[in-house]
């Protein structure tokens, strides 16, 4: 009996000491700390400090409600005078009684919208409230009404918003299981993701967000908790390894081809074998080339470089042997991993060019065959552990630039994980049966969204070599997500008309083409989500979703992506889009042999070269490239918006705007079109709806049977100007 009492007294003393430490460190009351200490110990919750509070104004804590643990933790950590608006289950549960006594609570039915003057008065008096909103990347109409209500309250009270999310590190991406009831309990090993306080007015003052509505501003701010969640993951390999532990080694993840499937265990074990060999032959900061176009070895080889802490340079056949050889020498790349499966003539020419540039060619089959039984056993046991632990800010991968000049674009681990988390914040992945990408991994979006996102979320995926998606994938029972260039969307939609499949097609625009490609009409069971990834290093900029989708737009900018619009004369509600991606700094050693190359600034603005306009809810309308202008009365006016408006008005026809000579104004805008009944009134009405001034409209419309094309298949502007001049000459002859 004495021993039992002594043990109980010891436990009570440890409990009290832990509570005192937590109360001091987290700046909460001792009573709150007493109830929080056992929860923190059982669920292993990581929180670095006290939750932020906006001084001198009201605060709304917006909690992503995922489990029954959320209100218990928030009642223990938030200020004691916070009013908590709980769901019915939490407000009536017996186990929550001690926690409900820590602060004021009121029940709330989440199916109804609430806007209370009492809450506004409380916030105006510098009070604070905590609301629990459903954690969903694509909330339905009813769920999104809650964001409208909370955004309206925050706007009326000028209150600061503090989004909070409690979950496993990487859970915002890898939470693929069907959403369990709120009463479910999470697994241990949790972390708090908190975003700093900001009001709706402050969010609207940021570049490019002046026109955003209060509900969308709140939604994007809450989604940022999914982005800062990746800070706890470290490197891209750790994100994939964590998904492998969660879904199990037998979980099929890579659908390499018909009859070729690989599990997490097989891929991670093979990656460990390759990583051990790479680590012995390289040093930290070295670059290793991966030439594996269409090979099933690409995924384990890429993960091996991430595990070994070296930068992976993805190479393919998009450039010629001369450009590839120059890239090998400038980077410099001393080792290239390839596969013996590449036996075609093009691959052999590329390998010969790399070898002549000084790179050592290493075949993955030789590395794997040389591994003994003991080495394979150790690799199987250590498959989830990286060989090296590089900094998240070092280059994880270098991709070839889209201009074909042989330049490389470095992406850090932090940038890769941020891109993955941003896409996951827009997509509902828990219902996905498969993820198919026709964008190659050498493309920024093809790597982050087409390969890393499925790997980190546990979604079975396939990388197609061409735009023809395997019909066996499209016929799966469930939701299939397909990432394709916008010009291939029509083909995928036509091939995916199956009642057993819910097809979601992500049509990605690259901003290179001047012509606006119209998407096919919506059909039952098929969703089309538009995305925008400008040519260059910016990666994915916009993405539509079920709750944020509008026909004819590119969607809205991804959460936490800094962007701004440079004013262009004639565009009232838009301009030239610039973004500021993080983690783009060039590391030491890259292009060391090219002294004329300036280093990029990680906080600098990258010009996408694209003209866009915004509507009142922040949806972006594409207006074409910003590289062609006409000089009217000494002022430059872009030509692409005219073509974009004409393409929206008559999507089945072809259009080209040219700058023709004008005696009075210097130049004038003339539209060449294949639309027989094209008229200025239709263009003017549509242009004004997009926020374009009349000065951007054509002074003349000329109908022709077909646009003049050059040898490259693009419109020939020189011949187009000749057509305009000939048309003017005929008009003058008739007038005479």
pLDDT tens digits for range 324-338 = 888 888 778 888 899
- Kindly indicate the confidence band of residue 499, based on its pLDDT and cuts at 50, 70 and 90: low
> How many C-beta atoms lie closer than 10 Å to residue 430's C-beta?
16
**Separation of alpha carbons 339 and 365, rounded Å:** 7
Write down the pLDDT at residue 455: 92
Domains defined along the chain, listed by start: 1-43 (no CATH), 49-232 (3.40.1130.10), 236-614 (3.40.50.12780), 628-735 (3.30.300.30)
pLDDT per position as a tens digit, 536-587: 667 888 888 877 778 778 888 888 788 888 888 888 888 888 887 754 443 3
**Separation of alpha carbons 137 and 427, rounded Å:** 6
Write down the pLDDT at residue 295: 85
Query: Nearest to residue 390, comparing CAs of 417, 413, 418?
Result: 413
The pLDDT of 725-731, averaged and rounded, is 63
From 386-390, 512-516, 669-673, the region with the lowest mean pLDDT: 512-516
**Separation of alpha carbons 619 and 208, rounded Å:** 11
Write down the pLDDT at residue 202: 85
Write down the pLDDT at residue 585: 40
| DSSP state for residue 113 in the 8-state scheme | -
Structure token digits, residue 265: 């265990």
Write down the pLDDT at residue 444: 87
CB 14 within 8 A of CB 7: no
Q: Is the pLDDT of residue 681 over 50?
A: yes
**Separation of alpha carbons 128 and 123, rounded Å:** 6
CB 660 within 8 A of CB 724: yes
Coil vs helix vs strand at 60: strand
pLDDT per position as a tens digit, 400-416: 876 555 678 888 888 88
Coil vs helix vs strand at 577: strand
Write down the pLDDT at residue 216: 84
Write down the pLDDT at residue 584: 44
Write down the pLDDT at residue 596: 37
Write down the pLDDT at residue 537: 64
pLDDT per position as a tens digit, 223-238: 888 887 666 667 889 9
Write down the pLDDT at residue 207: 52
Q: What percent of the chain has pLDDT over 90?
A: 7
**Separation of alpha carbons 357 and 334, rounded Å:** 9
Q: What percent of the chain has pLDDT over 70?
A: 88
Coil vs helix vs strand at 463: strand
Helices (H), 479-572: 489-495
């Amino acid at each position: 009996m004495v021993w039992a009492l002594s043990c109980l007294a010891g436990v009570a003393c440890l409990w009290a000491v832990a509570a005192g430490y937590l109360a001091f460190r987290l700046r909460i009351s001792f009573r709150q700390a007493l109830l929080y200490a056992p929860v923190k110990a059982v669920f292993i919750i990581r929180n670095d400090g006290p939750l932020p509070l906006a001084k001198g104004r009201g605060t709304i804590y917006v909690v992503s409600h995922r489990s029954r643990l959320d209100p218990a933790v928030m009642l223990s950590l938030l200020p004691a005078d916070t009013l908590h608006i709980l769901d019915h289950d939490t407000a009536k549960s017996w186990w929550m009684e001690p926690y409900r006594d820590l602060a004021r609570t009121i029940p709330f039915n989440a199916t109804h919208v609430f806007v209370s003057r009492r809450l506004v008065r409380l916030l105006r008096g510098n009070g604070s409230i905590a609301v629990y909103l459903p954690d969903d990347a694509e909330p339905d109409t009813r769920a999104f009404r809650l964001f409208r209500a909370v955004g309206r309250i925050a706007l009326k009270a000028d209150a600061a918003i503090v989004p909070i999310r409690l979950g496993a590190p990487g859970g915002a991406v890898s939470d693929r299981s069907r959403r369990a009831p709120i009463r479910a309990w999470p697994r241990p090993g949790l972390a708090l993701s908190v975003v700093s306080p900001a009001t709706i007015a402050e969010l609207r003052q940021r570049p490019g967000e002046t026109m955003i509505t209060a509900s969308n501003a709140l939604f994007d701010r809450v989604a940022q908790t999914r982005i800062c969640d990746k800070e706890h993951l470290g490197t891209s390999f750790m994100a994939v390894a964590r998904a492998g532990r969660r879904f199990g080694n037998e979980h099929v993840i890579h659908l390499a081809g018909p009859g070729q499937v690989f599990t997490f265990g097989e891929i991670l074990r093979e990656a460990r074998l390759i990583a051990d060999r790479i680590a012995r032959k390289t040093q930290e900061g070295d670059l290793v080339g991966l030439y594996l176009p269409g090979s099933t070895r690409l995924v384990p080889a890429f993960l091996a470089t991430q595990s070994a802490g070296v930068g992976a340079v993805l190479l393919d056949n998009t450039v010629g042997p001369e450009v590839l050889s120059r890239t090998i020498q400038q980077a410099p790349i001393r080792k290239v991993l390839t596969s013996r499966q590449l036996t075609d003539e093009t691959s052999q020419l590329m390998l010969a060019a790399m070898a002549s540039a000084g790179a050592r060619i290493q075949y993955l089959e030789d590395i794997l065959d040389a591994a003994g039984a003991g080495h394979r056993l150790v690799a199987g046991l250590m498959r989830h552990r990286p060989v090296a632990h590089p900094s998240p800010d070092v280059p994880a991968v270098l991709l070839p630039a889209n201009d074909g000049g042989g330049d490389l674009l470095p992406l850090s681990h932090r940038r890769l994980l941020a891109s993955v988390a941003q896409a996951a914040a827009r997509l509902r992945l828990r219902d996905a049966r498969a993820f198919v990408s026709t964008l190659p991994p050498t493309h920024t979006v093809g790597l982050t969204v087409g390969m890393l996102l499925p790997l980190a979320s546990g979604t079975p995926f396939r990388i197609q070599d061409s735009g023809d998606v395997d019909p066996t994938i499209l016929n799966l029972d469930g939701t299939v997500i397909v990432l394709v260039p916008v010009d291939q969307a029509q083909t995928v939609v036509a091939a995916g008309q199956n009642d057993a499949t819910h097809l979601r097609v992500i049509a990605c625009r690259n901003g290179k083409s001047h012509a606006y490609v119209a998407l096919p009409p919506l059909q039952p069971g098929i969703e089309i989500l538009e995305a925008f990834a400008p040519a260059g290093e910016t990666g994915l900029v916009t993405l539509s979703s079920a709750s944020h989708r509008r026909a004819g737009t590119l969607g809205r900018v991804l959460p936490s992506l800094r962007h701004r619009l440079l004013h262009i004369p004639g565009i009232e509600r838009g301009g030239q889009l610039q973004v500021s991606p993080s983690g783009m700094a060039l590391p030491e050693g890259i292009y060391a042999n090219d002294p004329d190359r300036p280093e990029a600034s990680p906080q600098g603005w990258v010009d996408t070269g694209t003209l866009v306009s915004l509507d009142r809810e922040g949806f972006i309308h594409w207006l074409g490239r910003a590289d062609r202008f006409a000089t009217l009365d000494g002022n430059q006016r872009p030509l692409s918006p005219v073509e974009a408006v004409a393409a929206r008005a008559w999507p089945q026809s072809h259009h080209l705007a040219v700058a023709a000579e004008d005696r009075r104004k210097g130049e004038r805008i003339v539209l060449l079109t294949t639309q027989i009944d094209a008229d200025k009134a239709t263009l003017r009405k549509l242009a004004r709806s997009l926020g374009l001034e009349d000065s951007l409209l054509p002074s003349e419309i000329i109908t022709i049977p077909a646009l003049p094309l050059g040898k490259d298949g693009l419109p020939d502007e020189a011949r187009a100007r000749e057509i305009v001049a000939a048309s003017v000459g005929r008009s003058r002859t008739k007038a005479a």
